[in-house]
Amino acid sequence: MTSTETLTMERFREAMSSFPSGVTIVTTADEHGTWRGFTASSFCSVSMRPPLVLVCLANTAECHSAFRSGERWLVHIISDEHTDLAKRFATRGADKFADAGFSADDGGLPLLADAAVKLTCDTYAIHSAGDHTILVGRVTRAETSEQTPTVYYRRRFHPLALDSSNGVPISAP
C-alpha cells in the first residue's frame, strides 16, 4: 500500500490480525443479576500504581449496557482448553454460560475457576473511542495458575508451545 492510498476496513483488519494476542473471557452481571460476558483480545495492562487493565467492548455488543453500568467485572485469560468456550462467548445470542463451568464468585459474578489467570476488577474509568468503549478496571484480586495461555493470531487460536523443562516458549532455531 502506498501512503496516498486510503485505508480500507479490510486493510486495517488484516494489519490488526497480524498482532498476536492472548484471549480473555470477560464477565459481569447486569442489574437483574443475569450473567453477561464476551470474548476479548483487546485486553492489556495499563498501570501498576494503581493496578489497572483495560478491555475494549463494541458499542453494539448485547452485553454493552451491563458492562457500562457494572461496577465489577472479571477477566479470565484462557488456555487452549477453553477456545471453544471463547468462540461461544464471541457468538451473539449464544447460551454462553450453559454447562460451561462457571460458578458465582463472592459477589455473584460468573467465575471460570479453571481459567489460566483470573482478575477481579472494579470499574475505574469508562472512555468512548469510536465504535468501542474502553473499560478500565482496577484490579483488586489476581489468581494465576500453571496453565499455558492460548494465542490468537490471524483469526485463529494457536497453542503456545513451552519447553516443559523450563517453561520457556519454544521458538524455531
Ligand X SMILES: Cc1cc2nc3c(=O)[nH]c(=O)nc-3n(C[C@H](O)[C@H](O)[C@H](O)COP(=O)(O)O)c2cc1C
Task: Tell me, by CB under 6 A, how many residues bind ligand X.
Answer: 18
Closest contact distance (angstroms) between CB of 163 and ligand X is 26
Taking CB under 6 A as the criterion, the residue among 29, 53, 63, 139 binding ligand X is 63
Residue 144 found at the interface with ligand X (CB under 6 A): no
Contacts 24+ apart (CB under 8 A), 78-81: 78/22, 78/23, 78/24, 78/25, 78/112, 78/115, 78/116, 78/149, 78/150, 79/115, 79/116, 79/147, 79/148, 79/149, 79/150, 80/148, 80/150, 80/157, 80/159, 81/114, 81/147
φ, ψ at 40 (rounded to 5°) = -140, 135
Binding span for ligand X by CB under 6 A among 87-95, 104-112, 117-125, 137-145: 87-95
Taking CB under 6 A as the criterion, the residue among 38, 67, 97, 102 binding ligand X is 38
Residue 91 found at the interface with ligand X (CB under 6 A): yes
Closest contact distance (angstroms) between CB of 36 and ligand X is 7
Residue 14 found at the interface with ligand X (CB under 6 A): no
Taking CB under 6 A as the criterion, the residue among 22, 23, 88, 151 binding ligand X is 23
Residue 57 found at the interface with ligand X (CB under 6 A): yes
Interface ranges with ligand X (CB under 6 A) = 23, 38-42, 56-58, 61-63, 86, 89-92, 152
